[in-house]
A and B are shown apart, each in its own frame.
Chain A
């Protein structure tokens, strides 16, 4: 393949944020189109370089085609939307029905979550995978935080073995997800601010890092916790169903941020320094990928207007 065509297709693939199977298929389709067009122009007397350039020009901006293809593929079906919202709905149900303290039930759900996340990960990472992946990662993050409260002598062992391993898993999954789409990193981390905001209000001063969670308090708040997860489920459905990236970002960012702000405002007296720090970090981890993605979109729109 001529350098010009190869460079054009590389640029196209870099701008296309869809799953890898679709990306390869569309790139291959454009490749055959460019070859056909170039061949036709060569038969009309153009040199290879001129023909390739003209074929590329006729096809147009890679960013624009990639954006339009993304819009087509970014809208999930109702089934995908429902399946993506399912882990939030399950959690909402558990809190509203007070099943959340039922250990066998939680174990089954946890195992199913791990199974579904692994299945989706190896099935070309469909859109519904990412909320499940968030819950799959949650035990890794929480266990990492709880290591801080281990008795002295054990903490260093945890730090040496667990934290690097957990960080490796976390960074690997985030990197792979971001390769697909930065917005999906936010979709994956959406439960973080909600879960941590409720946990942070549980125990006085030291928050959930004290290691002694007053679960009675959580029991009292269970209906409200359930409603929070229901809001997250609705946000996820909207995220999957809307086409435009701006609307996706807004639908995703607003509910968890509002929940975190409301819960933190009401329970602020119970939140200690570490609680505020974890809340801040969870909000940062959740919002920054979506904001980064929106920034990229703004730059791409500016380029489109300029061209």
Chain B
């Protein structure tokens, strides 16, 4: 089992919500952004992105909307909803607590 992949899988929703909250974005940009921000650590499996986005949309955490670009191309931009922001805030708080607790165990002198 790839531990890094499992961690990414368990935190996919938080990462997607965070990026969409930061700015309304579309599928391909999300993949690039995740890769760039994590310095290539997060290699998101592209095919799993869209089911995850649709799951968040079905849960009314984000909302997808087709937008026409100036070059005539259409893209489906995702925007975070109020419910999505609330869920993200809870997930981030849980993650901070978890991260602090882990650090306290593995780097006791740093806390």
Does A69 lie within 8 Å of B51, measured CB to CB?
A: yes
Among B8-34, those with CB < 8 Å from A are 26-28
Among A59-67, A126-134, A285-293, the stretch that binds chain B is: A59-67
Contacts of B58 in A (CB 8 A): 72-73, 75
Contacts of B46 in A (CB 8 A): 33, 37, 58-60
Contacts of A69 in B (CB 8 A): 50-51, 54
- A36 vs B32: C-alpha distance in the bound complex, in angstroms? 11
* Residue B5 lies at the interface, judged by CB distance under 8 Å to chain A: no
Does B47 lie within 8 Å of A28, measured CB to CB?
A: no
Contacts of B37 in A (CB 8 A): none
Does B76 lie within 8 Å of A60, measured CB to CB?
A: no
* Residue B90 lies at the interface, judged by CB distance under 8 Å to chain A: no
Does A65 lie within 8 Å of B74, measured CB to CB?
A: no
Contact of B28 among A33, A68, A71 (CB under 8 A): A33
Chain A residue with minimal CB distance to B53? Answer: A29
**Given known A-B contacts A29-B50, A36-B28, A72 and B45 have beta carbons under 8 A apart:** no
Does B76 lie within 8 Å of A29, measured CB to CB?
A: yes
- A68 vs B46: C-alpha distance in the bound complex, in angstroms? 13
Does B51 lie within 8 Å of A68, measured CB to CB?
A: yes
Contacts of A59 in B (CB 8 A): 46-47
Chain B residue with minimal CB distance to A70? Answer: B51
Does B54 lie within 8 Å of A26, measured CB to CB?
A: yes
Among B51-100, those with CB < 8 Å from A are 51, 54-55, 58, 66, 73-76
Chain A residue with minimal CB distance to B55? Answer: A72
Does B47 lie within 8 Å of A37, measured CB to CB?
A: no
Chain A residue with minimal CB distance to B49? Answer: A33
- A202 vs B70: C-alpha distance in the bound complex, in angstroms? 70
Query: C-beta contact mask, A16-55 vs B, less than 8 Å → 1, else 0?
Result: 0000000001101110110011000000000000000000
Does A26 lie within 8 Å of B74, measured CB to CB?
A: no
Chain B residue with minimal CB distance to A77? Answer: B58
Does A32 lie within 8 Å of B73, measured CB to CB?
A: yes
Contacts of A65 in B (CB 8 A): 47-48, 50-51
Does B51 lie within 8 Å of A60, measured CB to CB?
A: no
A181 to chain B minimum Cβ distance, whole angstroms, is 17
Does A61 lie within 8 Å of B47, measured CB to CB?
A: yes
B75 to chain A minimum Cβ distance, whole angstroms, is 6
- A58 vs B50: C-alpha distance in the bound complex, in angstroms? 13
B78 to chain A minimum Cβ distance, whole angstroms, is 10
Can you list 8 A-B pairs with a CB-CB distance of less than 8 A? Answer: A32-B28, A32-B74, A33-B50, A65-B47, A68-B51, A69-B54, A72-B58, A73-B54
Residues of B within 8 A of A (CB): 26-28, 45-48, 50-51, 54-55, 58, 66, 73-76
Q: Supply 8 further A-B pairs (C-beta < 8 A) apart from A60-B46, A60-B47, A61-B47.
A: A29-B76, A33-B46, A58-B46, A60-B48, A64-B47, A68-B51, A72-B58, A75-B58
